[in-house]
């Protein structure tokens, strides 16, 4: 923190530094940038953040971002209910939707199973997924989770939770290298991974 900085500046830096991926130095640069721009830009940013909290919510079915009870995908009668693609975060859903020819539904877990990072099974949207799987209308659940340690652990957790649900459980196949993140994958990699998905096999 800059010694002798005004309280308002220091407070802004402290709040910015709380954002994921933003350290104190980056927070200071952002605060200086906001100060150097016209006041209208700061006001516009503040208004956008306020509306984000006021208007944005999670879909009551799939937990995607929405301003209504249902997101646009769940509200679309043309989307098939037989297939549900499970992702970790809404940004993964958006990336797949933009890159893959898929006409089914989604389910956002809201994170991954990572106990060492404080993310436990009860923090994920697993109960609602289990209810959907046992509703009778779902035939296949696609695990479109990141191919890293946390993603594998989450896949295993989902597989255990859905045992006996009577649905086919598949996962993304070739196309996304081990350790990569879906949101940074190329369009071609996502298309291959989605097209050549394979059955999920429990850890041995």
Per-residue pLDDT, averaged over 67-83, amounts to 97
Helix (H) or strand (E) holding 97: helix 90-99
At 145, is the pLDDT very low, low, confident or very high (cuts 50, 70, 90)? very high
Indicate if 58-199 has the same CATH topology as 7-55: no
pLDDT (0 to 100) of residue 193 = 82
pTM of the predicted structure, to 2 decimals: 0.77
* CATH class of the 7-55 domain in this structure: mainly alpha
pLDDT (0 to 100) of residue 157 = 96
Residues in the chain: 204
At 75, is the pLDDT very low, low, confident or very high (cuts 50, 70, 90)? very high
Domain ranges within the chain, ordered by starting residue: 7-55, 58-199
Question: What whole-number distance in Å separates Cα of residue 137 and Cα of residue 81?
Answer: 6
Whether domain 58-199 has CATH 3.30.70.260: the reply is no
% pLDDT > 70, the chain: 96
Per-residue pLDDT, averaged over 4-29, amounts to 90
Strands (E), 7-139: 57-58, 65-66, 83-87, 105-108
User: Which one is predicted more confidently, 147 or 75?
Assistant: 75
At 175, is the pLDDT very low, low, confident or very high (cuts 50, 70, 90)? low
DSSP secondary-structure letter at 115? G
């Amino acid at each position: 923190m800059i010694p002798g900085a005004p309280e308002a500046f220091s407070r802004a830096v402290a709040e910015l530094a709380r954002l994921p991926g933003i350290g104190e130095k980056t927070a200071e640069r952002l605060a200086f940038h906001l100060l150097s721009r016209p006041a209208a830009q700061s006001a516009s940013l503040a208004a956008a953040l306020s509306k984000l909290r006021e208007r944005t919510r999670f879909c009551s079915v799939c937990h995607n971002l929405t301003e209504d009870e249902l997101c646009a995908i769940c509200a679309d009668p043309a989307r098939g209910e037989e297939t549900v693609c499970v992702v970790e975060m809404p940004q993964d859903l958006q990336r797949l939707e933009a890159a893959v020819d898929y006409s089914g539904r989604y389910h956002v877990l809201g994170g991954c199973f990572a106990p060492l990072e404080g993310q436990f099974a009860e923090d994920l949207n697993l109960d609602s997924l289990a209810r959907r799987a046992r509703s009778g209308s779902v035939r296949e659940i696609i695990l479109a989770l990141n191919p890293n340690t946390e993603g594998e652990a989450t896949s295993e957790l989902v597989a255990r939770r859905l045992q006996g649900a009577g649905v086919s459980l598949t996962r993304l196949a070739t196309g996304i290298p081990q350790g990569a993140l879906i949101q940074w994958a190329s369009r071609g990699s996502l298309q291959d991974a989605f097209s050549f998905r394979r059955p999920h096999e429990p850890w041995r």
